[in-house]
């Protein structure tokens, strides 16, 4: 059998005695497609992944009920406790961050429970949508791009008899970090469960659930801990754990996941073994760097990103005082088309960034700078953004963006 390479196809020629050779073609990735290895990947999740984490996923299959995998589970459990900064209960669930949010909602709330859901973006809207399935939510809305108003939250809690409050710590759709510490304090004052989405904050922005009084907190593997997507980490307080029930969930029964991990270093259902291996390695890398150091580095990257935007005459979508340190939302200047801009970034420079969502579609672009994002990534990203904006007619001093990044390096 001979293998011949022709441009973007592998041609397999099978030879048989005294017969005409037969060929079949196996299509491979076209050469013109951006190489994932060379791409500067700056989404707000999934984020780029360290080679050590990718390597961890490639090992041979292991018994998910054996001693070796129990050790993996134990390591993941301790790694989650470290990144959550908690002495409380934790769970690792095969599924996206939304699976973690649904596990919290379905296992803590019941039909008839009144829930105050705070909304100032697309992802905080998700908490309201989930609560509608399992309880009776009241939506307290704030303008997109603005933080949740603590005084208005206090007034709502005073006026209503709520069992729980749902809040998104870091609203990825608008690049706003919400005042979780202050909101959690209000929940304690009113004896209300504080259920928080920390999917793009835990591991990148200061978050102290035990100290602040957060009752449930969720992270996603593809965000600040920099593993592939597909595993949700969940933390619950002691009082929340005691209120978990099994009435509304089967696979996402949070108590089953917590108890299996804590008592038996196991999972209640078949886990995604490669994801657990990857997350264990990503958590090891995070611990090697140190959580405080990672948060400090992420903060530094955020400062560089904002400075680069300003240097080109661009405006952050939120006020800088409430801007997220894990994702920056930048408003487009007049005349720049979102689709054209981001396609040119990828095709000509290999840079991947996100656009706006829902009512912000076409109005902003978003740059993720969490996980293992580096200052080199930030330089390359803004060099490309500056070039593409200039090509599309946006006048700005050449080299200004990279100089701004360098000033924060």
Two tokens, residue 211: 């100290």
Decide: residue 242, CB within 10 A, 0-12 exposed, 13-18 middle, 19+ buried: exposed
What residues have CB less than 8 Å from 70, skipping those under 6 apart?
264, 265, 266
Tokens for 7, please give them.
């441009």
- What is the distance between the alpha carbons of residues 326 and 324, in angstroms, rounded to a whole number? 5
Helices and strands, number each (H, E), in the chain: 14, 18
Phi, psi values for residue 121, rounded to 5°: 175, 180
* Per-position pLDDT tens, the chain of length 409: 333 332 333 333 333 344 433 333 323 233 344 444 578 999 999 999 999 999 999 988 888 988 889 999 999 999 999 999 999 999 999 999 999 999 999 999 999 999 999 999 999 999 999 999 999 999 999 999 999 999 999 999 999 899 999 999 999 999 999 999 999 999 999 999 999 999 999 999 999 999 999 999 999 999 999 999 999 999 999 999 999 999 999 999 999 999 999 998 999 999 999 999 999 999 999 999 999 999 999 999 999 999 999 999 999 999 999 999 999 999 999 999 999 999 999 999 999 999 999 999 999 999 999 999 999 999 999 999 999 999 999 988 899 999 999 999 8
Q: What is the Cα–Cα distance from 307 to 299, expressed in whole angstroms?
A: 12
Q: 0.75 cut: is pTM over it?
A: yes
Greatest pairwise CA separation for the chain in angstroms: 90
How far apart, in whole angstroms, are the C-alpha atoms of residue 97 and residue 228?
12
CA-closest candidate to residue 34, choices 376, 352, 353, 392: 352
Q: Which of 398, 307, 375 is nearest to 42 (CA)?
A: 375
Cβ 324 vs Cβ 205: under 8 Å: yes
pLDDT number for residue 101: 98
Cα(374)–Cα(313) distance, integer angstroms: 24
What pLDDT, on a 0 to 100 scale, did the predictor assign at position 13? 34
Q: The tokens of 11 are what? A: 């041609």
Task: Single out the residue of 188, 141, 190 nearest to residue 168, CA to CA.
Answer: 141
What does 7-34 look like in DSSP terms, one character per residue? TTEEEEEE--TTS--EEEEEE---TTSP
CA quadruple 255, 72, 58, 295: dihedral sign: positive
**46 prior amide bond cis, ω within 30:** yes
Q: Comparing C-alpha atoms, which of 225, 231, 235, 228 is closest to residue 294?
A: 225
**Alpha-carbon distance 98 to 232, whole Å?**
8
- Token pair of 210, please? 């035990």
Q: Helix, strand or coil for residue 264?
A: helix
* DSSP H helical ranges for 160-253: 180-189, 209-212, 238-241
Residue with tokens 């939304």: 98
Neighbours of 10 (CB within 10 A): 13
**Per-residue b/e over 36-73, b at no fewer than 16 CB within 10 Å?**
eeeebbbbbbbbbbbeebeebbeeeeeebeeeebbebb
Inter-residue contact 306 to 95 (CB < 8 Å): no
CA–CA distance, 369 with 365 (Å, rounded to integer): 13
Map out the domains of the chain with their CATH numbers.
1-33 (no CATH), 40-48+290-406 (3.90.1150.10), 51-289 (3.40.640.10)
Supply the pLDDT for residue 59: 87
pLDDT of residue 276: 97
What residue has token string 């961050």? Answer: 97
Looking at residue 396, its pLDDT comes to: 86
How far is residue 280's CA from residue 88's CA, in Å, rounded to a whole number? 19
Per the structure block, which two tokens stand in for 274? 């490669």
Helices 273-289 and 291-311 sit at what angle, rounded to 10 degrees? 80
């Amino acid at each position: 059998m001979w293998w011949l390479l022709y441009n973007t196809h592998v041609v397999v020629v099978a030879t048989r005695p005294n017969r005409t050779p037969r060929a079949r073609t196996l299509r491979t990735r076209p050469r013109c497609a951006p190489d994932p290895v060379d791409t500067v990947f700056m989404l707000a999740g999934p984020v780029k992944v360290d080679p050590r984490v990718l390597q961890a996923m490639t090992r041979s299959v292991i018994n998910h009920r054996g001693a070796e995998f129990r050790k993996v589970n134990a390591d993941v459990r301790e790694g989650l406790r470290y990144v959550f900064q908690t002495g409380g209960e934790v769970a690792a669930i095969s599924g996206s961050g939304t699976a973690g949010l649904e596990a919290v909602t379905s296992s803590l709330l019941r039909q008839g429970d009144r829930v105050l859901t705070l909304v100032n973006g697309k992802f905080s809207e998700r908490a309201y949508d989930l609560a509608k399935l399992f309880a009776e939510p009241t939506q307290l809305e704030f303008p997109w791009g603005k933080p949740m108003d603590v005084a208005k939250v206090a007034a709502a809690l005073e006026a209503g008899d709520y069992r729980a409050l749902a809040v998104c710590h870091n609203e990825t759709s608008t690049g706003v970090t919400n005042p979780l510490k202050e909101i959690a304090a209000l929940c304690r004052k009113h004896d209300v469960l504080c259920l928080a989405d920390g999917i793009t904050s835990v591991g990148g922005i200061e978050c102290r659930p035990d100290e602040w009084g957060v009752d449930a907190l969720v992270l996603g593997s593809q965000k600040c801990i920099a593993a592939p997507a597909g595993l949700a980490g969940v933390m619950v307080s002691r009082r929340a754990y005691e209120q978990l029930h099994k009435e509304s969930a089967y696979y996402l029964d949070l108590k089953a996941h917590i108890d299996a991990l804590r008592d038996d270093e196991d999972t209640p259902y078949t886990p995604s073994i490669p994801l657990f291996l990857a997350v264990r390695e990503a958590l090891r890398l995070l611990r090697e760097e140190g959580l405080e150091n990672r948060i400090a580095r992420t903060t530094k990257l955020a400062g560089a990103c904002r400075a680069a935007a300003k240097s080109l005459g661009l405006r952050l979508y939120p006020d800088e005082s409430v801007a997220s340190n894990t994702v920056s939302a930048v408003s487009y200047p007049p005349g720049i088309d979102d689709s054209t801009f981001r396609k040119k970034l990828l095709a000509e420079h290999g840079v991947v960034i996100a656009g706006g969502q829902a009512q912000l579609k076409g109005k902003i672009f978003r740059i993720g700078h969490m996980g293992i994002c580096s200052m080199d990534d930030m330089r390359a990203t803004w060099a490309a953004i500056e070039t593409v904006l200039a090509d599309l007619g946006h006048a700005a001093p050449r080299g200004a963006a990279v100089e701004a990044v360098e000033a924060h390096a």
